[in-house]
A and B are shown apart, each in its own frame.
Chain A
Amino acid sequence: MSFEQYITPPIPVAMQDRLVKSKYPQFKTKILQGNVATWVGEIKPTDSSQTYLVEITMQTSKPPAIVILNPKLEIAKGRTRLPHVFPGNRLCLHYPNYKQWENTKSVADTIIPWTSLWLFYYELWLIDGKWHGGGKEPNKRRANAG
């Protein structure tokens, strides 16, 4: 718990919804109830890229969960699994210890651009099996960390 939490309240889910829709009008709100919101929308990281249907679920008490609904994510040649995902293929876009995501931040300015960036590096990863986006890996002993 950071000191900032005492002076900056979390952004209410309804406000997050407004910010997402104003910046990315292609996103639709599937759920907006209490502290929970789910959005679904299309993202295309570059003009040469595929268009991906993305689902973002957030609760003010937890980091958002991001899944790609379609197309089905492929595995690069010579690899057996996707890089930088959580179980269930939820994208892992930030390192908790760096506090890059907090519920005082706007999903529209963090999660959505990071999703685009992840998808960009994912397409490059499909070419050579290497992740060019940098990042950290959990300690091998703590397999479920993050």
Chain B
Amino acid sequence: MQLTYPLRVYLKEGSMSTQVFSEESLIIAIVESLSPTKAQYDLATSRYKTVAQWLADDEGKLGKAHPKLYSQGSFAIGTPNRPVAGNEFDFDFVCEAELHPFELLLLIKARLQQNGIYDAKVEMMNRCIRITYKNDFHIDILPAQPDYTSSLGCVLIPDRKLQRLISTNPKAYAHWFQGQCRGSMRKAFVEAHIEPAPHYVPAERKFVLQNSVQLMKRNRDLYFAKDPDSAPVSIILTTLAGALYESGNRTLPTLAQIVDEIKTQTQHSSQPFQIENPGNPGEILTEKWREDRSRYDAFVDWTNHFSDQIHQLTSIHGIHKKTELLQKMFGESVVNNAVEMNTRAIDEARKNNALNVRSSGVLTASSVGAVSRVAGNTFFGSEEEE
């Protein structure tokens, strides 16, 4: 059997910032706190390989169809977030074979249930089979049949509620997003790399487009916490961001540019705009907005609210004030974690006698532009209160 691997998203060539508590370092630390850890990626990869091998080794109809497994969704494009409530992540995979998708769905479920480990945790969802690992994450396996009547990579997937097949193209979507990440260089040739399941990349080395998408999804989660059914779905946010991103290699300005541009688009007309799947022309991602106008209105309200918050962030000063607003935007624990990461960098530098100061007074762990090293000191004076 062929284990087909997802397209690789190129690592950005950039240097790690030694500036702490800069706008960018705080935002990057927030994205880092939002993302799965390296340990979680490693665990997911090993579980994915086990599942893939188990399916491939089937001696029945499934195995004989030589299914191909590849990742899709947020992990494939490098934008996965921790869910707001609870600790479960979502790894999405496509299992592609020359079988009718509804039949493939049943074959996958049956095969997984043959393995004792999966028995208790295998569920059939509307379009996929879900394996739930307690306290960790789900693996969702989407059965797909190649659709040769359409463009390369197009597949048909089952929808049990609608009782029909849906056409989509996750590989083309991932490829498109990967290209958009390169901003002004998006016309440059992007080599498709084959590699195992998606791997961990620290936030400071990810594309600003990836980071921006994560921040948008998180802000949306918090805004719609009490009314999740009205929330715009992630693929809409991701596609908008990918389409509207122009250039730039700093996250907060990019996020501001994208959200402001979305806001401008909503102001062009009172009617909801349409978004086509860039990987699958003809597939309209915003169907629900036509069916239910209130969902579009909720999206517009959220966009305005988020835009206001972003602009407020750039105009207030003081770590305490920025932190307070960031907590409202992205969540308390994630932001507290980010503040701690930045503080630790200063504390470490101070401990190692490597903390410097610039002529503006800005503390830095770099010696570039520094006028003084901060000599060791012990604060004294009035007592700290209990």
Where the two chains meet, the residues of A that have a C-beta atom closer than 8 Å to any C-beta of B are 23-26, 42-51, 79-86, 91-96, 98, 100, 108-110, 112-121, 123-124, 126-127, 129-138, 140, 146
A84, B379: Cβ atoms under 8 Å?
Answer: yes
Beyond contacts A47-B21, A51-B317, A112-B361: 10 other A-B pairs, Cβ-Cβ < 8 A, are A26-B359, A48-B318, A93-B380, A94-B379, A95-B380, A113-B363, A120-B346, A124-B319, A127-B339, A132-B347
A26, B360: Cβ atoms under 8 Å?
Answer: yes
CA–CA, A47 to B322, complex, Å? 11
Considering the complex, give the chain A residue whose CB is closest to the CB of B320: A126
CA–CA, A37 to B319, complex, Å? 31
Considering the complex, give the chain A residue whose CB is closest to the CB of B346: A120
The residues in B between 104 and 120 inclusive whose CB is less than 8 angstroms from any CB of A are: none
Stretch at the interface among B33-41, B146-154, B367-375: B367-375
CA–CA, A42 to B28, complex, Å? 28
Contact A47:B372 (CB < 8 A) given known A81-B382, A86-B381, A112-B357: no
CA–CA, A132 to B343, complex, Å? 9
- Which of B320, B347, B361, B378 is close to A136, meaning CB atoms less than 8 Å apart? B378
- Which of A26, A109, A138 is close to B380, meaning CB atoms less than 8 Å apart? A138
A100, B319: Cβ atoms under 8 Å?
Answer: no
CA–CA, A136 to B380, complex, Å? 5
CA–CA, A50 to B23, complex, Å? 13
Residues of B within 8 A of A119 (CB): 361
How many chain B residues touch A (Cβ–Cβ < 8 Å)? 41
Nearest Cβ in chain A — how far from B320, in angstroms?
4
Contact A86:B382 (CB < 8 A) given known A46-B20, A123-B319: yes
CA–CA, A89 to B302, complex, Å? 44
B357, A48: Cβ atoms under 8 Å?
Answer: no
- Which of B23, B355, B381 is close to A92, meaning CB atoms less than 8 Å apart? B381
Is B362 interfacial (CB-CB < 8 Å)?
A: yes
Considering the complex, give the chain B residue whose CB is closest to the CB of A51: B317
CA–CA, A91 to B377, complex, Å? 13
Is B384 interfacial (CB-CB < 8 Å)?
A: yes
The residues in B between 176 and 223 inclusive whose CB is less than 8 angstroms from any CB of A are: none
B380, A81: Cβ atoms under 8 Å?
Answer: no
Residues of A within 8 A of B383 (CB): 83, 137-138, 140
Interface-centre pick from B323, B373, B377 (highest chain A CB count, 10 A): B377
CA–CA, A85 to B380, complex, Å? 7
Is B22 interfacial (CB-CB < 8 Å)?
A: yes
B382, A42: Cβ atoms under 8 Å?
Answer: no
B374, A92: Cβ atoms under 8 Å?
Answer: no
Nearest Cβ in chain B — how far from A131, in angstroms?
5
Q: Mark B132-148, 1 if CB is under 8 A from A, else 0.
A: 00000000000000000
- Which of B319, B323, B363 is close to A116, meaning CB atoms less than 8 Å apart? B363
Considering the complex, give the chain B residue whose CB is closest to the CB of A105: B375
A108, B21: Cβ atoms under 8 Å?
Answer: no
B377, A94: Cβ atoms under 8 Å?
Answer: yes
Residues of B within 8 A of A118 (CB): 379
B19, A47: Cβ atoms under 8 Å?
Answer: yes
Residues of B within 8 A of A47 (CB): 19, 21-23, 362
List 29 A-B pairs, Cβ < 8 Å: A24-B371, A44-B361, A46-B20, A47-B23, A47-B362, A48-B26, A79-B385, A84-B380, A85-B382, A92-B380, A92-B381, A92-B382, A94-B378, A96-B380, A100-B376, A100-B377, A100-B378, A110-B375, A112-B361, A113-B357, A114-B377, A116-B362, A121-B379, A123-B319, A135-B378, A135-B384, A136-B380, A140-B383, A146-B381
B378, A123: Cβ atoms under 8 Å?
Answer: no
Interface-centre pick from A47, A84, A100 (highest chain B CB count, 10 A): A47
Considering the complex, give the chain B residue whose CB is closest to the CB of A140: B383
